[in-house]
Structure formats: structure tokens, C-alpha cells
Structure 1
Amino acid sequence: MKRDGSIIMLVLIVSAVCMTVSWFALESVIMQNRIVINRYDNVQARMSLENKVAELVVTSDDADNLVKDIIYNNKPEVYKPSTFPIPIEGMEDAKGMIKFSYCDEGRLNYRLNIEGTRNSVVDSITVKGHIYSPLVDHCQDGLVTLQNRSLEYGEELNQLLDNIRSSFNTDAIDSTYFLAINYLENEVKIRAKSSGYRYIDFIRENHISKYSFWNGRIVLFKEYDGFNRDVVRLEKDTSSYSTGYVMGIIYLENGDLILSGDVDFYGIIILQNGALLKEGEEESLIKGKVIVNGFNQPDEGIKIQYDPEYTRLMARFLPGFISPTIDSIR
């Protein structure tokens, strides 16, 4: 009987040990399974967030590109974050927050944070970058030239300017701007005032075509006609009591821009093969961005001052100028 009792006790002990081991093994399997599932959910959530970031920042479709859409259609409230819901397939309660700010040198950048829940797993992603093409985003007094730049940079800048020329879309320009697009004349005179109507003359030998436009908004875009270089003269109208100015875009593929007298320009100037010249003793101010695709500096008497808002307003009309980058992602 004692022997039978010992056997029974041994069986009970072995059974208890086996059950304990089995329970720990089962618990371990369950925990490992949960870990695998959580890891899978984490990976899937991360992929979903990264895909959404690519859609909101990198996509070439301007309507779906969050950063482009804000820059095109709204003046960003710098330093004030904006929160909004974001639909992400497979995730719940997904939302985003975007914040714009300026670098020390005045370059506009953004910070976009997106977070959401997938199977009770909460994940988030933060991406930072700049707004404009890196080729034209440096802000040395608002002037971009080839001075102290590499051959590779010059080639890339040429490609950007060629794309602007070939893809320029007049339909994208606000109707409040006077359009001077690929006119026949090679000489143009813009007479600026401090307010009211401004005047523009298209000169061809002895013939002058005269126009006026309200509020000084103009987009002048001239491709090279293959025969003669273009000359655009911006001068103060004699009827103006103070400094004359216009705002907008001046693009010359092959020609010079002359600022004559007491006159200012607000916006973006692009001279793909030309010079920025000055006449008269009065200083002229350009607020915005100037791109001279060459090594020559503007004449003395021309002050160039980078202005983020004039740059943003006019960059909307120039293909490839607004090109959000992803500088960091975590």
C-alpha cells in the first residue's frame, strides 16, 4: 500500500509539473503570438503612415499634395499649427497636424505629424522639409546666380528654368494680373506709378501698342523668338508723385531688364540669359526673388530683398518652383 501511495504521489507531482510546464509553454506561445501580431500591426501602421506622407507631400498631383495646396491657396499661418482628420485605410482616428515656420535665413519650411490607431496599436510619424525647390530656395538677399556654384548646379538650374518655360500655364494665373505672354515685339516699356493704373508699351520699330492695367499686377513672360534679344524697361511714370512700383513676374528667356529711375518691383524676376541693369541715380528695390542664370551681378543701385510672401504669391504660377522636400522622417 505504501508503494501504491508513493506511485500515486509521484504521478500527481509529475502531472502537476507537466501541467505547469504546459501552461507556461501555452502562455509563451500566446505571448509570442501577440508579439508577432503587434509587430505586424506596427509594421502595417508604419507603412500606412509612410504611404500617407508620400501622398500628402511627394505626390505630383497638386490637388492631393497637402503642402502644395496650402501654399497655392492659403497664406500659411506661420508658427500656428493646424490639426485636421486624415482618412487612412486600415487605421482609426487618424489625424494630422501641420505647422509652418521660417529658418534663420527666411526659408519657409513645414513640420507634418500624422498619427492613427490600428488594432489598438497607436503609431505616429513626423516629417520635416522645405517648400521650394532647393535650387532656388537659398536666400542670399533674395538673389540666385551661378556665382560660386558648381557645374552640376548650373545644369540643374537650367533644367528647372527650361521646365518653367515649357510648362508655363497661363490658365493658372489670377485674372487680376495683366498678361504679356510671348508678344511679337522685342522692346517693352512698363511705366509704374504708386497707385491706380500702370501703363505698358510694346515697341516695334516706329509702332507702339499702348495698354493700361489696374493695381500694378503683371505677368510678363517672353520666350526667345530666335532673332532678337528682348529689352524690358521698368520706369517711373511722370505722373507719379512717389516711387512707382509693379508686382508680379518677369521672365525673359533671352534679354535684359532695365530699372530706370525711382521704381520698385515686388515678386519674382527670372533672367535665363540676360542682365539686371540700372539707369538713373535713384535706388530701386526688388522684394521677392531674383534668378539670374549667369555669373553677372545686378548693377549698383539695385537693392534685392528676399520677401517670403511675394515669393509665395508668384511661385504659385511657376511650374516646379514649389517642390516640397522631405528632409527628415521619423
Structure 2
Amino acid sequence: MPLASRPEKSSLANKILKQLPLADKTAVWGTLGTIRPLLSFEVERDVQSLLDAITGEAVDYRTITHLLTNRTNGQRQQIAEGFQSFTQQDLLKTLQAAVSGNLETAVVALLKPAAQYDAHEIKLAMKSYSVARPSSPQVPDGATLAEILCTRTTQQLREILDFYKHDFKSDLEADVASGPSSSFKDLLLALIKTSREKYSGVIDYVLIEQDAKALVNAGSGYVDGTDEKKWIRILTQRSPEHLNRVFSLYHKMTGLQIEEAVAKFFQGNAQVALSTLVSVLRNTPLYFALKLRQAIKGPVASHKTLIRILISRSETDLLSIRAEFRKQYGMSLYSFIRAETQGYYREVLLGLCKAEDL
């Protein structure tokens, strides 16, 4: 392609973008993340900026937060490597000594490779997994496991499994399998195996009807505790496009939305995890928008969840999440964060969110 044609094409793309609804821009942009690679990125310059920020008379929090929230995870890893090479010190440990509280939690999440951070979050959630009772109320650790395992791509899950094995000298699948027998365990194992079908573009009406009937029959027999595996098999193996058609037919056949059926037939962590999975299959950005608000305004606030979501989605679909948040609550995610948080921790969150949605 001649170089002379590029400015014209870029201008045309900008004109198209201005006329597209936010949710339709993925095809043009390729990503709906708020953080993109910095084109003028220089490792040495960033290393020096961080050194200056932490070795002056007072810690320059503004420089630290601005720099970390304007680099991709890959670029932050290069900065960490450059810092280690130049100073013989670990950048994460150095910054942890300079910050505290929620800001420290955010800095740790920003500086670890994304899959490694997820692996460590899973490990923390697994601490109470082995003693969790299937019939207990919603357990935050179960929600964390469900969130991560239900929303990561196959490649991301493989990387998480690798980091888990490397950092903890243990196999995640084996650790989950060692837990108490339950539909929750079966669901986690199915998600870890990452065997979901890809949508072929062909609508298989026969299979849609078969799956809907299987869910109906599995639900009617669930009182005997024998058919939950059918739910798990279908919900973890079929493509989202196929399953949304199954959900519609299930509603016609039973009068129940699939969410109502999950609440009716499952309890405890299994209900939490399956509800998460259904929400993700229905509308992933909406799921995260609701979870972001709950992380601050829910019965139990969780800044760790807030941080994890903003960072994990900042390079993929945070713009779509912002749009869903605005639609659901009548205010921008940016304004919500600004009103509900404070200090340099707020600056990190706003740096990830990036802008208002008017």
C-alpha cells in the first residue's frame, strides 16, 4: 500500500467512527479498550521518570499513576525489565515500598503480567474453596473464581494455568478436583478445560431444540441431584451465539428466563458461578458494568474487584462497559468513580477509565 494513501484512509476511518454507536466500533478499531500501546514509548525514559518519582524529597505519585495507566501491560513489563537491569532492583517491590492501601493493590495489579495476576487472584479465591459448603450463601471467593474463569479467552486461560503451575508448583485443575464433590466443582473443571465450541455462522435449529429440551428435562429432574451435569455440559461447551438462541427457546417452553431457572435449580457457589456464566454469555460488557457498580455500592464493597475489572478490561472492551454503565445508571463510569473514590487511588482508576461518556 503506497504511503501517500494512508492519511486519506485514516481520515475516512475517523469519519466512520464518529457516526457509529459505541458498541459498533469494534470492527473498525479492533479493540474497545481504553489503553493502547504508546507509539512514542521509550523504556529508558520511563525508567528514569519512575526513578525520579521515587527518589526525590517526596514521592511523586502523580507521575507514577499517570505513567502506569498510559502504558499497556506489555509495555509495563518492558519498563519493569529495564528498571531491574538499570538499578538491580525489582520495580514492583520498589513501588510497593512507596505506596500503600488501595493504591498499592492497583500498582501490583498493573505491574504483574495479566495472566500472572489472574493466577494469583485464583489462588487467593481457592484458599476457602476446599472448605466451602455447596449450600452456603453467595461466597465472594466463588464469585471471583467464576468471574475470571468465565470471562477469559482460551489463550488467556492457558497462560493463567501456566503461571499458576509455575508460581505455586501446583496444577489448578488438580487443586479444583481435590475440593468437595459438587456441581460447583464440576463447573469449574469444565471451564478450566476450555472446550467451548466456536460459532460456525450456521444456525443449527435441531441442536437448539435438543439443547433447550435437555435443559428443561435436566431441570425437572434436578430434585434428585442427577442432572446438573447436563446444564454444565451445555453451558460450557456451546458457543454464545448458539446458547442465546437456546435461552430464548427455553423461555418459550417453560416461561422462565434462564437466569430464573439457574436461581431455582442451583444453590450457593454453583448458583453464583452459573449466574455469572449466563450473564457473560448474554452480554459481557453489561455483566462487568453491573459488577463495577456493585464493587463500590454493593452490600460489601470490594476495591480489589473494582481494580481487577478495570485493569483486565482496559485493553479489550472497557469502552463498551462504559457505554453499558451509562445506559444502566444514567451517569458515566468516570463520574461514578470520581464521586466514590479519592486520592491517587482515584487517579489510577480514572486513568484506566480515561474519559466521560456524555
Q: TM-score range by the shorter chain?
A: under 0.3
Using structure 2 for the length normalisation, give the TM-score: 0.26
More strand by percentage: 1
Using structure 1 for the length normalisation, give the TM-score: 0.27
- Largest Rg, 1 or 2: 1
